Amino acid sequence: MKFPFYDAPNTATITCCHILENGEPILYVSHDEDDGMWQFLCGKAHETDEAKLVSLKSVFDLDNSVGILKDMPCGYYAERKAQDDEWSVRKR
Ligand SMILES: [Zn+2]
């Protein structure tokens, strides 16, 4: 599948150790208003040291279903209940 995001594949994004190390699904995606940073998280609450910096491409390679969110503007976030669920996008 072609890389869908407008940001460069090597754009730094935030994910969490639960997704990276425990293989948990991505259930929460945020496109931050202030700096345009993408965050791909498991949906649980996080301590600062559980956040990991990775490239946007490595997140997309992990789960292609985040690609559908490429048009989500800054200041919005998306949630889903399970990996095969539809995303629901909301303004922050
Ligand atoms: Zn997590």
Domain ranges for the chain: 12-82
How far away, in angstroms, is 8 Cα from ligand 1 center? Answer: 24
Amino acid found at 55: S
pLDDT in tens, 14-47: 999 999 999 999 999 999 999 999 999 999 999 9
Q: Read off the pLDDT of residues 49-71 as tens digits, 9 standing for 90 and up.
A: 999 999 999 999 999 999 999 99
C-beta of residue 79 within 8 angstroms of C-beta of residue 41: no
| 88, two tokens | 């629901």
Number of continuous H segments (helices) and E segments (strands) in the chain: 2, 6
| Residue 81 alpha carbon to ligand 1 centre in Å | 14
Name the strands in the sheet holding 76-79, side by side, starting at the edge strand that comes first in the sequence. 51-55, 12-16, 38-41, 28-31, 76-79, 88-91
Ligand 1 centroid, distance to 16 Cα (angstroms)? 5
